[in-house]
Structure 1
Amino acid sequence: MATSSKIFITRENGAVFSAPGLSWASARKVSEVLQHDMENHIYLNNIEFHGASPEPIQLQYEREAKRQRAAFPRDETVIQSFYNKKEFMKHMYQEEQYSNFLAFFQREIDEKGVTKVLNEYLFGGDELAESLLSRMVAGIVHPIMHLGSGAEFQQPAIIAQAIAQASVHKDYLGDGFFQPATKVSASDSERSMNLLGIMEAMRADSKVDGILKRAGAEVSKHCSQWTVPEDQIQEKLVEMINTTIYWTATAQNPRKQLKLDFYFIHAVNLSIFFKAFTDFPYLSASNKSRLLEMKGRMDLLIWASRKMPEPQPDDILNYPIHLGWPEVFVNSYLHPSDDGHLAKFVRTVAFAEELCRPYESSRNLKNLPVMGICGSKSEI
């Protein structure tokens, strides 16, 4: 049984998407390496959950584990001080406190359960919760990806790791990006736009360069136009994941070999976990809406930070397809130099194909990319 300190993956963990043929041996191996990973510092860990047999799982983990750092020792006095939220905040953005934050959230989950911990520490609305929620998307969105893994595979220990990880990241997006965007959105709710329309407007705005320090007001203003009404969460989820994969896949230099931008990959890899978040029975519709708004706005910020590349859809639409999904899965998790990013990217795109297919010929989602992620050239 999975607990706040024990990882236990099974074939029946209710994953958002998984390749067929996952064995009990593979599930045990994933549990084993993730349990071992918990003994290390939070940085430089990256494990893929699906498809592979035990041997490549162990091989990939051992390759990455060589770069991991030993965990800092725990300090019981400091851990106890975290029950005072003001004291908690004094220790944030101090990586040496990660082990203490992890112990604290493991105990909180043991006492209160995952539901109450998430609703208190991420959605409680107080200063600490607002700061932690913002820090969740720091570090190229790694804390919230960790949270998504814990949510999708029903692992309280990984959820504890995620919140502890957010606690030691810098909050550089709250005051400078999310709060201004929220204020503009609230004062001008009539200007809501779809993601592609916002991207086109940002490309046309000479003041936008994607750097918050130089164009913070302009970037926040544009990003504020992505809103998620509570009665449109499913439709906005589809729009977000379709658009994210579209601008990631089409961000190509016409004069160079087809490649994927490292930062854009993270926006895609995070997307799949929003299916798990929106399916949470213990998150309110308003909090689901808020999370999805944050995701779309963060996507726009990541895209803008890479100089807003003009989409090159022909490079993708005309690319010869030789392999099916089973072969692609195998090639991704056996890739000799991949550290997990590629395998996660492939899983997300395969999931997105399923998610978006019902909308492929529908007019329910207007003005989405003409290249649907299912490979269709028709408007979805």
Structure 2
Amino acid sequence: MRQRLMVVAALGVFAAATHAESSVTIYGMYDAGLRYVREANAAGQSSLSMGSNGTSTPNRLGFKGVEELGGGLSAHFNLETGWNSGTGALESTTGSAITGTRALFQRLAIVGLSQDRWGTIDFGQNYSVGWRTSYDYGPFNYRYPTIDPVSAVVPGSSASQATAGVRFHNDVQYTGVFGPITVRAEHAFGNVAGAVTTNTATAGSLAYKSGPLVVAGSYTTRKIATTGGIFTGAPAIAGPPAVAGEPAVNANTPTYSDRSWSAGAAYSFGPVRVSGGYNDERLAGALNNVVAGLPLTPAQGDTRVRVGWFGANWTVSPFVNLAGGWFRTLVDTPVARAAGAASGTSGKKDLLMFAATYFLSKSTYLYGEFDRTTLSGNQVIGYGTKTTQRHPLGVSAGLAVAF
């Protein structure tokens, strides 16, 4: 009897120890704000709106957990969803550009393993390597994501980086930290039957972080099909069907490349951090033929989107933070070249942004933001036109609570 009690007690201690080595956390952010935009539509009219997915920081509700497996090995997961602050509707109201379906955990859905010495590997829908790398040298660290152009050019699962989501579906991603060096690599699968490379993405990055200095860069290449998803086109030869739930891409349809690279640096002088970076994307000219429906040839060139920036962030006190940035976007499209620059989106866009944050507590803050854009060529914002948009101006203010 005594031996039986000892066995039961030992099992109880083992179970308690196992439970203590596992944890699950519920977290989130709610950002509700107002935004005024001058020259907001094709008629050149102004707008004042509230509903957004988070003006300063995207709204999110997340669940993450870690289980220690011993020997420096652990398993983890992270699920995250977003919503509109004005209506409460899910962020993914229009569905994925790749799968066409709405998702509950559209922000993050990963599971993986970590080892203290060798690094981490994650599987699922994840922030892209390009996103994780550019974060370190963006002036706003991806705050104000619908305004800051750095967020717009990060590679993700969409037509081009200029309209990208910042995540990849069906992604396998590795992260290794070796002293001051951080190495990342990923491959996102296309899930197309009979066409292994179609709608895939591969990326790598390298970052050096030592004291106040960060220097980093990334390279991403994607293979985009001209049928299925948001692209249109008729393949000449019928092929096997796509995997259920994935885009109806024909296995014999040619794929075209989208290549981008980014590099930048940041340095902190006490409470002041300065940063600068550059992103260059080339989308194959043959793909533009399909998208635009024009009789162009690949020789007429690729679409090229270049974005350069620099900025500063100043922690004035534990309660006040000030940030500013300047961004230049250059767009060159074969559509505009073929039409004598009378159409398409070729042109230049200069954006100046300033933001202030006042912390009411560690988890609650008020914010204000101002941005002014100067346009040239055929560059426009949103639903504007070349004749109605000259110097769009935006002002934002709101309250954000983390939990």
Please give the TM-score of this superposition, normalised by the length of structure 2. 0.25
Select the structure with the greater relative contact order (CA < 8 A; seq sep ≥ 6). Answer: 1
Is the radius of gyration larger for structure 1 or structure 2? 2
Which structure dedicates a bigger proportion of its chain to helix?
Answer: 1
Which structure dedicates a bigger proportion of its chain to strand?
Answer: 2
